[in-house]
Amino acid sequence: MNSWTDVVVPALESQGFLAPMHLTNSKTGRKEIVEKKSEYRMYVCGITPYDATHLGHAATYLTFDLINRFLRAQGSKVNYVQNITDIDDPLLERAKRDGIDWVDLAHSQIDLFTSDMVDLRVIPPAHYIGAVEAIPLVVKAIESLQAQGTIYAIGSDYYFSNSTKSDFGALSHLSHSTMEEIFSQRGGDPTLIGKLDSLDCLVWMSQRAGEPGWPSSFGMGRPGWHIECTAIALEYLKPDQTNSELIDIQGGGSDLIFPHHEMCRSQAMTLTGKELASNYVHAGMIGLDGEKMSKSKGNLVLVSNLVAAGRDPMAIRYALMSGHYRSDRMWNDKLLANAEFHISRLRQSLKLENVHPTQAVIEAIIRALADDLNTPAVMAIIQEWVASSLEGSSGGDRAEMERVLDALLGLKL
């Protein structure tokens, strides 16, 4: 599947200032160095295309865009893979409710999502893979798991036995009972009769009446959610088998830590005998006016609606960067209005012939980004530089500051 239009990222004269990046690893709970290397492998879980891109999605993909930009700025290649769950229960349920073909619904929402990513200047993945096109890979992965004795049938459906991994839960750090509760809330079936363990996950669902299905050695059906990402990551990131970890970064929203990323990790370790990722990185959730933002509450703020209403995509991006990526935080009109104010002042400063000295400011921006993407600190540094520039301070390199804002923060002004 084609991703969206590429983003032109300027080269930096300030590359020599780049400090090593540190990110918080959800598995260890510690801030850890991302060792510098010539190429990184990063997998970020994509959308299920049954509704438009809301600000929670935008915040997540912006987080990994910042990581991507920083690693590329230091001269490294980033092999970035993102999936699309373009066959899943919520998609089929929404299509049935609205009386439209599920394929048409998926395509329309994918088009809207990619348009939002272009507006927000998010660098596209090198591989943008739909679950449907990955079905042959998924079947192959399930067959490999079956050969290891970790797949069993319940009726005509097939399950992966997570109980074969003694450290299952090492990523989420949850008790078995808590995992059961969350699993039930997030699409799992812990109470299903016939399971060897309540946390075993579906990898192949037999075709149901009125639903699509694809041929496989397990019969007509479709893949489970978790195995899709496992198979796609292992195929398209081409893991280095000489390392103890297969890829560098697995990422997504914090709601994916369990069950999704825990399940993917377990499957990948069973398939390869290796840890899936060196770093498991997760972005916090976005709420609206004091409440959780969710489809069920009907309080989603859609990127496309904001842009259609004339709001500046760069201000949306700025507003999302004003909070730390790992924090659960609230969105409101005041936050966006404040971002629009600061974007306006930033544009004014970049039109000046003389600006405040930039080298120390750029170094401070880089140090803050390297420190677990400390974007609130970055915003404060930029605002101070803008104020000094507008007050008449001079001696800086305006063009290089403009390149830094674009290359590292995605702010094209």
199 and 74 share a domain?
yes
Residue 10: inside a domain = no
Instruction: Give residue 191's pLDDT band: very low, low, confident or very high (50, 70, 90).
Output: very high
Residue 120: inside a domain = yes
pLDDT at 363: 94
Instruction: Give residue 16's pLDDT band: very low, low, confident or very high (50, 70, 90).
Output: low
More confident residue, 92 or 53: 92
Counting the structural domains of the chain, the total is: 2
Q: Which strands, in side-by-side order, build the sheet including 275-283?
A: 127-130, 77-84, 39-44, 245-253, 275-283
291 and 354 share a domain?
no
For range 326-353, the mean pLDDT? 97
CATH code of the domain covering residue 391: 1.20.120.640
Q: Which strands, in side-by-side order, build the sheet including 157-160?
A: 151-154, 157-160, 201-206, 221-223
57 and 177 share a domain?
yes
Task: Please report, as a single letter, which amino acid is at residue 24.
Answer: T
Using a 10 angstrom Cβ sphere, with 0-12 exposed, 13-18 middle and 19 or more buried, the burial of residue 250 is buried
173 and 52 share a domain?
yes
**How far, in Å, are 21, 134, 212, 220, 221 from residue 156 at the CA level?**
47, 21, 16, 10, 9
Q: Which residue has the tokens 């041929």?
A: 215
Report which DSSP code applies to 287.
E
As a whole number of angstroms, the distance between CA 409 and CA 256 comes to 25
114 and 167 share a domain?
yes
- Map residue 207 onto helix, strand or coil: coil
207 and 98 share a domain?
yes
Mean pLDDT of the chain: 95
Residue 1: inside a domain = no
Residue 280: inside a domain = yes
Nearest to 125 by CA among 37, 65, 52, 53: 65
pLDDT at 310: 98
**Residue span of the structural domain in which 365 resides:** 312-324+333-409
Backbone angles phi, psi at 325, to 5 degrees: -60, -30
Q: 323 is written with which tokens? A: 């909070």
188 and 116 share a domain?
yes
Helix (H) or strand (E) holding 249: strand 245-253
- Map residue 99 onto helix, strand or coil: coil
Q: Which of 7-21, 176-190, 264-278 has the weakest average pLDDT? A: 7-21
259 and 349 share a domain?
no
Nearest to 267 by CA among 234, 312, 300: 234
Instruction: Give residue 166's pLDDT band: very low, low, confident or very high (50, 70, 90).
Output: confident
**CA angle (225, 197, 235) in 5-degree steps:** 35
More confident residue, 19 or 309: 309
Residue 8: inside a domain = no
CATH code of the domain covering residue 274: 3.40.50.620
pLDDT at 93: 94
Q: Kindly tell me if the per-residue pLDDT of 14 is higher than 80.
A: no
Residue 116: inside a domain = yes
Q: Kindly tell me if the per-residue pLDDT of 64 is higher than 90.
A: yes
**Total H helices, total E strands in the chain:** 13, 14
345 and 297 share a domain?
no
Q: 51 is written with which tokens? A: 């509704």
For range 364-374, the mean pLDDT? 97
Residue 214: inside a domain = yes
pLDDT at 147: 98
294 and 343 share a domain?
no
318 and 248 share a domain?
no
**How far, in Å, are 180, 183, 292, 305 from residue 296 at the CA level?**
22, 18, 10, 18
Residue 11: inside a domain = no
291 and 380 share a domain?
no
Q: Kindly tell me if the per-residue pLDDT of 296 is higher than 70.
A: no
For range 143-158, the mean pLDDT? 98
